[in-house]
Structure 1
């Protein structure tokens, strides 16, 4: 009995520490669910930070290369790409002002979209003449074909209606000639989204018809964003200034490599030549492809 009395406090102490250990273990050990939540949260934070890092890095590279060209051949340029996978835009400009640029022949894509939209609305097929004019306008950049098509649709007011319908609020059709339509890179990205992604303005067949023509541009027009990949559908524009010898040089389209692709818009003026205007666009497009494709 005396022995039991001596041992009893020791047993109580052992039981106390044993219970305390279980209690601490239960309340301090991270449960599997809690650990998974923590890991998922950390992973999401890392994923969110990565695109921001990539965006800063790409835009820094665009800024560096664009500024190098601006010292050699001063012009006014805005360049924008839109990554279709992460739905992120990346831009470069050497102009401190928010400038609107003349479209030149990239407006022919607008006219093509307007024509096929009108045909959809009327539930009509293209006539043989319209098909020939459309092909000539896009593939060969035929100005007369563009004018003929637009006149048949109602002229500049119908073109402005397209811009209004697509909420291209900074784009204005010129009353005298479609080639002097003024626009911004943001608005041109909106236009390209209507052409290359699911759209309320064009059905898939109409989109494909225009895109197929933009895949068959005359070889002598293979410059601008064409330099971004071996898989590019595009349209370029070039227009001399009425007053001096400077050129407007523009380029729009979609650049693809494998499963990755992005939309690209380059608007510029005050270029000494078409070639010099296109060179900077090509360099900026190659840099974009290195990061996005």
Structure 2
């Protein structure tokens, strides 16, 4: 730029000399048009649809209508990992985990192994696989003792960020009580890079949950595809033999990843509980997915 300026100055000086020494007309140099500086218009940021209060209220009314004539209670939590949107229904309910606690037990086992800077032994892997994929109670009991029972589970749950889960007394791991929101926190520890569980541990357990035997693959799988889940079912003496039926897991739907936890208690039969929670999770996931479909 400096060189160009010197050349222009020199040219103007030469022109001035010519004008001073001659009466001949001198053509003025063509004027260089000035280009006005323009500021580009800011790009419009895409708007992300939100799950509005109106939509939440409509979903709550729909679930209440469905459950009105159904026996027992249901609590539901769902989180869309793709958008961060979440929804809860009857979040104050606390009920027994039944066999969904087996996921929690295996997570506690993995945390203990990490703390010891070791891999799971072949026996531990065998027990974990049986506890998750076929819901083997004897395997879960063996792992319960390996992690230190109720105290070991409570210690692990503090690390995992759980708030509402109280381990069952003695050997009664199935009597652990929890909330749907806490089960979402547990699932978040299986999907988040901020989890105390290392990525290899998370992949390992999710792989087991994705390989649950087909006859036990009901529940949150009704809400989407490629389900990674664990179910629990238990007739409870304190409820006069009525059923607690629970399901937790991770599903894919319309390009979104959903964490779901549905807890039911006091159902007349196990099948009643399954139908209730499957309807609830499918209804909730469809409502959230519908809010984010681009038109």
Where 2:68 maps in the other structure, the secondary structure is: helix
1:223 aligns with 2:222: no
Given that 1:225 and 1:234 are in contact with CA atoms closer than 8 Å, whether structure 2 keeps it comes out as yes
TM-score (norm 1): 0.79
Name the CA distance, whole Å, in 2 between partners of 1:280 and 1:51. Answer: 27
Distance in 2, Cα, partners of 1:189 & 1:234: 12
Which of 143, 151, 159 in structure 1 is aligned with 2:137?
A: 143
Q: CA deviation at 1:259?
A: 3.1
Q: Aligned pairs, how many? A: 250
Kept in 1: contact 2:78–2:285 (CA 8 A): no
Task: Please tell me the root mean square deviation across aligned C-alpha atoms, in Å.
Answer: 2.1
Aligned pair 1:264/2:260, yes or no? yes
Q: CA deviation at 1:117?
A: 1.2
The question of whether the paired residues in 2 share the 8 Å contact of 1:62 and 1:284 is answered with no
Q: Residue 133 of structure 1 corresponds to which residue in structure 2? A: 127
4+ runs of 1 displaced by more than 4 Å?
A: none
Structure 1 gaps, min length 5:
1-30
> Per-residue displacement from partner, 1:28-62 (whole Å, max 9, x unpaired)?
xxx967x74xx85xx68xx37x3042x642x3453
Q: 2: distance between equivalents of 1:67 and 1:185?
A: 17
1:250 maps to which residue?
Answer: 246
* Larger Cα-atom Rg: 2
Q: Give matches, 1:135-284, under 5 Å.
A: 135-176=129-170, 177-243=172-238, 244-257=240-253, 259-284=255-280
Structure 1 residues 147-171: Cα deviation after superposition (integer angstroms, max 9, x where no partner): 1011022111000111222232221
Query: Where does the alignment leave 5 or more consecutive residues of structure 2 unmatched?
Result: 1-37, 290-295
Aligned counterparts, 1:9-48, within 5 A = 36=42, 47=47
More helix by share: 1
Matched, 1:67 2:64: yes
Whether the aligned pair in 1 keeps the contact of 2:262 and 2:281 (CA below 8 Å) is no
Q: TM-score w.r.t. structure 2 length?
A: 0.78
